[in-house]
Amino acid sequence: GVFAPVVTPFVGDVPDLDALTYNLTQLRKTNLKGFFALGSNGEYKSLTDEVRGDIMMARKMYRDAIDFYKPQAAKSAILANKTGIAYHQMGDLDSAKKYYERAIKIDKTYPEAFNNLGTVLYAKKSYGSAIKNYEKALALTPKAASVWSNLGTAYFARKKYKEALEE
């Protein structure tokens, strides 16, 4: 079969992940056997490991994304969180939890990591702990609709219907 190299579209210096996703969706409709991700078309050497990981995430190649994020995840809350997201996408909740907690340890003001940790705890039916993490995220970013939604859902799961409606 035929494998095509996939060029990553950019807007300025930033990869356009929406355009990449669109391109891959269109290519999947063809008779191609597969794709070469981050091939030798010249772009590879100019991308950071974080951007390479982001591209792998857009392509749903989560293990490859982890390989790019993980080396710097001990120092970067963002990369620890992204590593957690990749594990989460693969259904490895224990590893996802570990990396979300690592992100919070690195940066206690990172609301996305608190929210993501809450989603793992919710999936594990630890609704009270999930609620605490959603509340921490909201203290840092009070206008985040997705966190409010998660909090309301967790209250509902605990049969705290009045609180769920208020949130």
User: pTM of the entire structure?
Assistant: 0.74
pLDDT in tens, 69-107: 999 999 999 999 999 999 999 999 999 999 999 999 999
Give the pLDDT confidence score for residue 12 in this predicted structure.
83
CB < 8 Å & 24+ apart, contacts of 16-23: 17/54, 17/55, 17/58, 20/55, 20/58, 20/59, 21/58
Residue 50 in tokens: 């974080």
Evaluate whether 97 touches 117 at the Cβ level (below 8 Å): yes
**What integer best gives the mean pLDDT of the chain?**
88
pLDDT in tens, 106-145: 999 999 999 999 999 999 999 999 999 999 999 999 999 9
